[in-house]
Structure 1
């Protein structure tokens, strides 16, 4: 245990976040997501809701502010404008840890899968709600 770190950030996840560089992407996904088939490193946080994992990750990882979007959710199949309740929870975590200037973008389901296939790693959560998936682009840590 370390001071000041969210206890969800275990050794494997912390090492992954530390190894990522500016512009690398991380997928945080629900229990239905086909993570193992992507061929990316998979970190499991079974039993933990996706918004909770997102908050823990954003407590130590900055989002990229050099690009128009640095966080994306999966669009609802057949209704890309639909707002699932979990999307507002994702937005809340982003605003709380970063700022309101960060927008939650959206990607069509198969575009999301393809982008996740290129991610640095995939964190599988215990999220059971549909569309509990988010991609994050890592930013830079600026000196104080």
Structure 2
């Protein structure tokens, strides 16, 4: 155990976010996402949701300031009448940790899958919210 590390962040997840470099992407996948099939590195966070993991890691994880949108979500499939309320949670959490709003990219479903396959890691959650999938692009630490 270490001080000030949220218990929701497993040793494996902490190792992954520490290994990542500037520009690397990590996917936080909802419970319906084919994470095991798409992942180069799979981190299981069963029993947790994307929002609570996002809130925990943004204390440590710098978002990329050199791109227009360091955050991406899977856009709603045309014809689907779902309104993803979880996106507003993400915006609130990001603003809380970044001190400002950050642009979010809305990524077509199959393009999201392609990006996920190239991501440094995929974190599989038990999130039941529809369209809760999230991509974060890592930035640099400036001190």
Measured on the aligned residues, the alpha-carbon RMSD in Å equals 1.6
CA distance in 2, matches of 1:81, 1:91: 21
Corresponding residue for residue 128 of structure 1: 128
Q: CA deviation digits over 1:11-50, x for unaligned, max 9? A: 1000000000000000001011001111411101111111
In structure 2, runs of 5+ residues without a counterpart are none
Are residues 135 and 47 of structure 1, via their aligned partners in 2, closer, same or farther at CA, if it must alter by over 3 Å? Answer: same
**Kept in 2: contact 1:45–1:125 (CA 8 A):** yes
Corresponding residue for residue 14 of structure 2: 14
Are residues 100 and 14 of structure 1, via their aligned partners in 2, closer, same or farther at CA, if it must alter by over 3 Å? Answer: same
How many aligned residue pairs are there? 143
- SS of the residue aligned with 1:37? helix
In structure 1, runs of 5+ residues without a counterpart are none
1:106 matches 2:100: no
**Kept in 2: contact 1:42–1:122 (CA 8 A):** yes
CA distance in 1, matches of 2:53, 2:22: 20
**Kept in 2: contact 1:75–1:82 (CA 8 A):** no
Q: Give the structure-1-normalised TM-score.
A: 0.93
Are residues 101 and 130 of structure 1, via their aligned partners in 2, closer, same or farther at CA, if it must alter by over 3 Å? Answer: closer
Return structure 1 stretches of 4+ with deviation > 3 angstroms. Answer: 79-83
Q: Give the structure-2-normalised TM-score.
A: 0.94
